[in-house]
Structure 1
């Protein structure tokens, strides 16, 4: 659209919005120091013809914040402008916490290419914090790519899988209208000849996306929560007709709660930024209204030569409890991201352990040892995920406290590895444990982890592991003895008895995983009790519980069984790696390790 035409359109829609007195009053009364507050301007459009008006071009009128600036860009009082069809029910929307994305690309011979590879990379990057990206099957379970798609391909895919998000990358193209009216559709591949163009209207696309799920006895319709449409040209600045807001209007009208489209041509750069920011933020559980405002600002900053910021058109029908739903989604996603960061770190450390074993045995060419930069990268990954989790997590929940405790303990492990690269002392040095505890950051991580484990126990945890880990950290930090005494405190022994009772209850009444953890807890409690019990008895008990734990894990192949075996071995290895306990305790840990496969 030519600049003068855009200015003329902006003037007309500005006059229209200026007549909305409630908007004027809201803008005038807003306090700019309120921080994240955003005004949500909902335009309820019944007639599809109104979808063609570029409301997003409106400017702030006289006396309002950001006077003369685009209303959707000014930051004194942020405004998110969305469109809405009254017939779309918002109360049934459930914000997805487990994303399943369908990416549809189409570029028939008659139109130019689309940046499919770049868009796919951005979608994978948005999913990366929550998935093991080294597992192709896991990626496939969350992202499906339909290349050279026909509208029949889209309908077939939606009839088989309940997608939560659908991203469409195709060119907008003019199609024949009635009389002098020009209408637009998306250029899909024709079913009979994929080199030919099939111009798909919004109504046809809606029918494909909202089809009956195959095999569903209740005949439920497929119901994606988010549909995004990126229409761009292969040149740096878009030079093709965009489908206008009419397709987004048609999709929303058929019951899709959140539709993001483009009413003017998008530049390639703008389309890539759109998919990157939109999906990264939505998958994280961010408020879509704030996300849209940030998206416009990002497009305006990064693509000044285009009108991409104004091209974005959003149809949204959001429920009254959206904030509560988003808080839950943000917590679930942050928890998944932190767990994935810890699992990634654990996997890297396991590979390093295997490589170290190979180097010692000379069974294969030695692999390079982890360097300080590698360790620091892993540490930063966990710390960033942990900070995000802390911001999103509700206070006092057992799951929250346990996760935070585990994360800090893993950061401590990385800190100890980092220190071992520069310290003159080795792990075999009797003073190695003391040298670690002298490191303020290392000790702080363990102290904080210890506190979280105890809070987890006090919050009502019915499993033994939080209390066992509290006791292990207490002993590791050399705080198990009474003040001014060389003997283990009565309190430590009382908690030890309580942990053992919980573990036995978990074996009797818990599920397979709870029982496996309980055997591992009893093994660790036997090691810890060498401080005051008969060492021979402790040794025989610990070895028995270790064998029972491994046998139980081998017999009960639940989904996390392999990881729990690794965790059990890692916990044993930690005693020796950190120099925890007496010589007898460390020797026992090494002997148990030989039984269950720990070097």
Structure 2
């Protein structure tokens, strides 16, 4: 994603300050020369405009006028160019024109007199940058260290056509951040999520069930069949001490807070806080500083905090050196904080939760997730009002973020495939209906479509290997579902087609990277199942690659590949150094050592056992597989017990 750095700077104390008409700031946009921009409004009328944007004001004309004024204000600051008085320009022309060009000079002067000012004939630096890459989503990385500028609703900026700037081209997502040393202490971006959902109805009712459903749906690829508290924890009617207690577990990667934002009723503090439950008084409006302290325990693990609360990003109390909830959370070390700088509708809060986390936990760029959320809020203004403007995102991303995203995407699809397999097995045990299995088949087809789209975007070689392998796995699982759990002639024909596609994907992965023995073994197995033959040269290549991996300390996945290669080798008279049983026993012994140090390590016995059972239960000559061969059912029957946990 192309990132356009826009930064405003001024001297002296940056922590406090008010907007004063005529004050000058320096604005830099990427490598363009620095421009001087001037604030055209004082603090009091600005605050009145912001108040007119609040839902408590019912006058639509007042709201429309305020929105237009604020849009023009921030648009001017972002896009303003250098201007020169007509007289000054004429003086410059006179000194640069040769004698004899008086007629030309007079003509130019007549044209200039039609305008109060004359601008240089150059495009706005910001729009110039935006137009360079209009065929893709772009980021405006906005840095406003001065407190008074943080209060401005830059998200309302306009493009040349007077439409919102964020809709330009393929989209422009504006994010905020603050320079500071806190960036050096932010946590590593996680691959597997663990979401903390905190809600309180202390300030009035909240749509907590809708938010919970949205979070669980977004977490669907990651939810285990049991013990969902490994990835999702909820605190309802939350009290301050409840948050302090639960956040002592630093494993949370994302925190979503749903509550009411209320103004702090204290002398010299007119900021907005969060209304939580109180054990005696019923409601307790805690300050931004207190919430930061309560969440301190997850600062070493959480990378995203979302605040579905009115005014959690409100920064209009600029003379107070203490900042808004969102601002303080960001500067305290949370890389991404999403909040609202104005009141937030319940409808809009549901869009925020569903769309933002749906995209984010499926492996999309956090900036892309934020942009899609703003787009949906904009498209639903009849119900969500101006929530699309209210939404603010403080974003500070780590180095190598794009590489991390590819791993997150692929891991989410892998987990989703595992969950669909587990659901199918659970349904089979209770004798579920055809419709229920067809629903799982539909989900598998969606996974295949998503993986095909992802393949076109994937760049890194290892991620490409994984993507092709996951496509092969998804097609194979679809084939198994169609054959074993639906089973009519049409389903069996579709199953055979899916199996052929799986074979193709595994071959593509192995051809691209012959050292990736896992994809080679999967291809050779399906080649044998479908044709009854095994490519001896590819078998030898996969065998060498697996032996190379096997000698690495702590390796146990290669032993699973070697066990399957030993089985397939019997079909072409190619022996391995050890028997399949030996490799499985070695795999079990090595995994036991690793598991003692890392209890949550992926279990190779389960997946290897599952694959071996296919030879016994599905890939049988009686079902049309292994033509001109007796298959491998007898051989795997003796190996399957070795894959059971002790």
TM (norm. structure 2) is: 0.69
Shift of 1:380: 1.2
Task: Pick the aligned partner of 2:349 from 264, 271, 278.
Answer: 271
Are residue 563 (structure 1) and residue 607 (structure 2) matched?
yes
Give 1:470's aligned residue.
523
Give 2:153's aligned residue.
54
**Alignment partner of 2:247: what SS?**
helix
Give 1:585's aligned residue.
630
Deviations 1:334-353 (A, max 9, x none): 22222223323433454466
Shift of 1:50: 4.2
Shift of 1:222: 3.7
Structure 2 distance, partners of 1:56, 1:570, is 55
Task: Pick the aligned partner of 1:410 from 477, 491, 502.
Answer: 477
Task: Pick the aligned partner of 2:250 from 161, 169, 183.
Answer: 161
**Alignment partner of 2:620: what SS?**
helix
Structure 1 distance, partners of 2:617, 2:136, is 46
Contact persistence 2:262–2:285 (CA under 8 A)? yes
Are residue 255 (structure 1) and residue 349 (structure 2) matched?
no
Give 1:430's aligned residue.
none
Structure 1 distance, partners of 2:640, 2:366, is 49
Structure 2 distance, partners of 1:130, 1:183, is 38
Are residue 81 (structure 1) and residue 174 (structure 2) matched?
yes
Shift of 1:280: 1.9
Structure 1 distance, partners of 2:409, 2:508, is 21
Task: Pick the aligned partner of 2:387 from 304, 308, 321.
Answer: 308
Structure 2 distance, partners of 1:594, 1:369, is 33
Structure 2 distance, partners of 1:370, 1:591, is 35
Structure 2 distance, partners of 1:593, 1:379, is 29
Give 1:452's aligned residue.
509
Are residue 515 (structure 1) and residue 547 (structure 2) matched?
no
Structure 1 distance, partners of 2:474, 2:613, is 17
Worse-superposed segment, 411-420 or 516-525: 411-420
Shift of 1:299: 1.0
Worse-superposed segment, 221-230 or 165-174: 221-230
Shift of 1:210: 2.7
Structure 2 distance, partners of 1:117, 1:37, is 33
Change (3 A) 1:512 1:242: closer
Shift of 1:265: 1.6
Deviations 1:526-550 (A, max 9, x none): 2x23xx69xxxx9xx99x9565566
Change (3 A) 1:594 1:395: same
Give 1:238's aligned residue.
none
Deviations 1:541-568 (A, max 9, x none): 99x9565566567665554122321222
Structure 1 distance, partners of 2:538, 2:264, is 76
Shift of 1:264: 1.9
Task: Pick the aligned partner of 2:314 from 244, 249, 274.
Answer: 244
Aligned length: 518
Give 1:334's aligned residue.
409
Contact persistence 2:259–2:275 (CA under 8 A)? yes
Task: Pick the aligned partner of 1:14 from 60, 72, 77.
Answer: 72
Contact persistence 1:265–1:311 (CA under 8 A)? yes
1:20-419 counterparts in 2 under 5 A?
20=78, 21=80, 24-28=124-128, 30-31=130-131, 34-40=134-140, 42-47=142-147, 49-58=148-157, 60=158, 64-67=159-162, 69-72=163-166, 74-76=167-169, 78-87=171-180, 89-90=182-183, 93=186, 94-108=188-202, 111-132=203-224, 134-135=225-226, 137=227, 139-178=228-267, 182-190=270-278, 193=279, 195-211=281-297, 222=300, 224-231=302-309, 244-245=314-315, 246-305=324-383, 306-319=385-398, 321=399, 324-325=400-401, 327-351=402-426, 368=433, 373-374=438-439, 376-387=441-452, 389-391=454-456, 393-397=458-462, 398-414=465-481, 416=483
Deviations 1:72-113 (A, max 9, x none): 4x33474333333333554665433222222211222xx312
5+ unaligned residues in a row in structure 1: which ranges? 214-220, 233-240, 356-365, 427-434, 481-487
Indicate the RMSD between aligned Cα atoms, in angstroms: 3.8
Give 1:218's aligned residue.
none
Structure 2 distance, partners of 1:591, 1:114, is 60
**Alignment partner of 1:284: what SS?**
coil
TM (norm. structure 1) is: 0.74
Give 1:362's aligned residue.
none
5+ unaligned residues in a row in structure 2: which ranges? 1-53, 82-122, 316-323, 596-601
Give 1:443's aligned residue.
500
Change (3 A) 1:571 1:338: farther
Contact persistence 1:550–1:596 (CA under 8 A)? no
**Alignment partner of 2:488: what SS?**
helix
Structure 1 distance, partners of 2:436, 2:236, is 41
Contact persistence 1:405–1:450 (CA under 8 A)? no
Shift of 1:194: 5.0
Change (3 A) 1:582 1:85: closer
Change (3 A) 1:415 1:32: farther
Shift of 1:157: 2.5
